[in-house]
Amino acid sequence: MPLPEIGFSMSKVIITKSKHFKYPIICMFQKTKTTMNHSNFFLYSPSGVGGGNCAFDYNLAWQWLQQKGSETLGHKFKLYEEDRPTINQMLCFFLQDQNVAAQFGIELQKGILLTGPVGCGKTSLMKLMKYFFQNDAQRFLLKPCRDVSFEFIQNGFEIIHRYTRLNIPQPIFCFDDLGTESALKYYGNECNAMAEVLLSRYDLYVSHRLITHLTTNLSASEIEAIYGNRVRSRLREMFNLIAFDLNSLDKRT
């Protein structure tokens, strides 16, 4: 198989082979980087003749995702073919693949709202997306919504501000399992902490384009019932909805 020419203005391009993959891997090092970005493994030239007309090879990305999942989440980790459309949408977002994102109707300046049944793999998939970041600005912290509620009990309204600031080292969060927390009281004042966090982060999205990610088992109508119409309306503007099939398997069994 002839090696494709690559039309990128990078300081160094290396084409090599790996025992893990059938096809050659294209490793690209940018001038400003001292470490390799794993997502650059999946760049190839569709035409096979340079010219800069390059895209991402999602089959290689799928294999890499399976490998890293097994390494970091345990040997029982497995990708399921029926989840491929959902996983490809997630990959194109974090790879910042504009062409494929446009085909899926995904807006790269918004966050991800990942939905699906209990145990379908939402949290695991979000954890693995760190291997596909295109730059440090995409990095996020995964925070369970239940933990936010427990912190609110201990520290009160300061918690709302903790997760709605720009001047912190890591301002992007993925709030995991929205809906598992409860409305709680702090010195007699009842507050749905996650609703307040999301409303405040919406303001930051409008003013500074600060991205937020969410995972949840809830439907749109359930989100409105718990958090109100104001939150549901803002979620439409803040997020790309990516959903596992309602009949997706419970991977924990």
Residue ranges of the domains in the chain?
1-56, 75-243
Arch. (CATH architecture) of 75-243 = 3-Layer(aba) Sandwich (3.40)
Q: Strand, helix or coil at 46?
A: coil
Ordered strands of the 239-243 beta sheet: 141-144, 173-178, 213-216, 111-115, 239-243
Contact 50, 13 (CB under 8 A): no
Within 8 A by CB and 6+ apart from 35, the residues are none
Residue pair 67/20 in contact (Cβ under 8 Å)? The answer is: yes
- Whether pLDDT at 176 is above 70: yes
pLDDT at 38: 55
Do 122 and 252 touch, CB atoms closer than 8 A?
Answer: no
Question: Average pLDDT, stretch 194-204?
Answer: 95
Task: Considering only residues 86 and 20, tell me which one the structure prediction assigns the higher pLDDT.
Answer: 86
**What distance in Å separates the CA atoms of residue 227 and residue 246, rounded to the nearest whole number?**
22
Give the C-alpha separation, 27 to 93, whole Å.
Answer: 20
Answer whether residue 223 shows pLDDT above 70: yes
Is the pLDDT at 64 greater than 70? The verdict is yes
Average pLDDT, the chain: 80
Lowest mean pLDDT among 64-78, 80-94, 175-189, 201-215: 175-189
pTM as predicted: 0.80
Task: Check whether 224 has a pLDDT greater than 70.
Answer: yes
Q: What is the pLDDT of residues 21-30, one digit of tens each?
A: 333 333 333 3
Percent of the chain with pLDDT over 70: 75
CB of 215 closer than 8 Å to CB of 178:
yes
Q: Is the dihedral of CA 93, 142, 113, 162 positive or negative?
A: negative
Q: Which residues of 78-103 are buried (b: 16+ CB within 10 A; e: fewer)?
A: ebeeebeebbbbbbbbbbebeebbee
pLDDT tens-place string over residues 32-54: 333 335 555 566 655 544 444 56
C-alpha span between 213 and 210 (Å, rounded)? 10
Q: Is the dihedral of CA 140, 143, 149, 152 positive or negative?
A: negative
As given in the structure block, the two tokens for residue 155 are 């520290």
Please give the Cα distance from 120 to 247 (Å, whole number).
Answer: 9
pLDDT at site 190: 59
3-state secondary structure of 136: helix
